[in-house]
Structure 1
Amino acid sequence: MAEFVTADLMAAYEALLAAGDLTCAVSDVLGHSAAMHADMRPVWPGARLLGPAVTVRPLGTDLSAVYAGIEAAPRGSVLVIDAHGLRHSAFWGERTTRAALERGLRGAVIDGACRDVTAVTRLGFPVFSTAITPNAGVRGGQGAVQVPGAPAGTPVLPGDLVLADENGVVVVPRGEEERTLRAVQAALSAEQAAIQQESAHE
């Protein structure tokens, strides 16, 4: 597991993620400003992910930084690739998925395209992207890892907590994980109480 998020904190988020619609609650408590734009969708239905971000910023269609990011990523992290929305060349596919699984990554988020959808789905690796294309990128030794980015319109720094479910992808700034969790738990409890009260009056 990535060293900058405690196991207890991750477990609490994981429990809420499994219950469903966690990204909506996180977006609410963070002022409706934490979500990546609506083009960011799961590559396969039901994909969910949670983990600290390892950020990647490719140069053009160069995949080198993606592979460098996978190699640098601690177990339990999520690779966040700011490919500037390039849709004509894929930054993720079967080979990167297998490499990420070997490293123990929890998923990938790509402001750009993915390919090998059948293989990625079969492997069960959560991937969210803004496009799908069969065209592959190239490797030329350029790009950057662990740098600030803004994939799909949302600022992401290394170590920020990334969550994704059927609704999309949200980002919790590093250092705000515990405060956000408590606010989400309180909001969900209040919502459940309101639902039960309405049901009692029907």
Structure 2
Amino acid sequence: MTNFKRPPKELVGEFRRLFTGCVSDAMNKGGAMCSAIKPLIEQVKVAGPALTVWTYPGDITTLVKAIDIAQKGDILVVDGRGFTEAAIWGELLTRSAILRGIEAVIIDGAVRDTTDIRKLRYPVFARAAVPCDGTMGFLGNINVPIQCGGIQVNPGDVVLGDDDGVVVVPQGQAKEVLEYAKNIAEAEVKIKDLIEKGKTVGEILNIDKVLEELAKKKPAQLEVK
């Protein structure tokens, strides 16, 4: 499948202004890929629709094709089955992705040529790095539901990545999650302002009352005073 419904560019742009923590919080601490999926470069922030790739462990064949059918701004999300003993991404595919305008690449598997990729400042997220190259010769699939970093990803889902990791927002929930995440971000700005004025986080969140309620085995919730 080469075509799929993508979220509006304006919506993706608004997500790009947020960090992954806010968005995961807005999904009740959900949507975050496992901690092993990390960026090769620092100070990175990306957002875009998922173009999903399922590939045989250690095989790059389907990835090569996925780059050619991707649209500008897409994020390649690759289910490499978590296999880390052969790289399915490297410098040459990175240069090809840059040529196509692909926003980022997220791989549940291994990469190589990390020094060269870092020099290019291209956002690649992966589980591991390894010198051994992958194979070519096994048939995978493009734009099908996949698992990546322990999270289900469907074509067109909104994907965000930064220094902390990767979060996936189902396309059908994107507008609702965005509004909630923006509210969380605004609340954090208020908390930062109160800290600058001399209050501790404990004072702002009324931690003594929370501890008192917990001691009584009552439900307690952190709220900004």
- Normalising by structure 2, we get a TM-score of 0.82
The alpha-carbon deviation at position 47 of structure 1 amounts to: 2.9
Partner of 2:60: 63
Output the amino acid matched with 1:11: G
Partner of 1:10: 12
Alignment partners' CA distance in 2, 1:57 and 1:150 = 9
Output the amino acid matched with 2:130: T
Q: 1:3 to 1:125 in 2, by over 3 A?
A: farther
1:167 maps to 2:164: yes
Alignment partners' CA distance in 2, 1:191 and 1:124 = 29
**Which whole-Å deviations, capped at 9, do the CAs of 1:118-172 have from their partners, x for residues lacking one?**
1111111100000000111111151111111111101101111111111111001
The alpha-carbon deviation at position 5 of structure 1 amounts to: 2.3
Output the amino acid matched with 1:12: E
Partner of 1:194: 191
Asked whether the 8 Å contact 1:37–1:152 carries over to 2, the reply is yes
Of all paired residues, the percent bearing the same amino acid is 34
The alpha-carbon deviation at position 174 of structure 1 amounts to: 0.9
SS, match of residue 35 in structure 2: coil
Asked whether the 8 Å contact 2:41–2:122 carries over to 1, the reply is no
Any residues of structure 2 matched to 1:102-181 within 5 Å, and which? 102-181=99-178
SS, match of residue 112 in structure 1: strand
Following TM superposition, where does structure 1 have runs of at least 4 consecutive aligned residues deviating by more than 6 angstroms?
none
C-alpha root-mean-square deviation of aligned residues, in Å?
Answer: 1.6
Alignment partners' CA distance in 1, 2:131 and 2:45 = 23
Partner of 1:83: 80
Q: How many residues align?
A: 196
Output the amino acid matched with 1:130: R
The alpha-carbon deviation at position 46 of structure 1 amounts to: 2.4
Partner of 2:33: 36
**Which whole-Å deviations, capped at 9, do the CAs of 1:36-93 have from their partners, x for residues lacking one?**
0011111122233211101111113221111111112111000011001100000110
Asked whether the 8 Å contact 1:44–1:117 carries over to 2, the reply is no
Output the amino acid matched with 2:183: A
The alpha-carbon deviation at position 201 of structure 1 amounts to: 5.5
The alpha-carbon deviation at position 198 of structure 1 amounts to: 4.8
Listed as ranges, the gaps of 5+ residues in structure 2 are 200-225
Partner of 1:19: none
Listed as ranges, the gaps of 5+ residues in structure 1 are 17-21
Q: 1:130 to 1:31 in 2, by over 3 A?
A: same
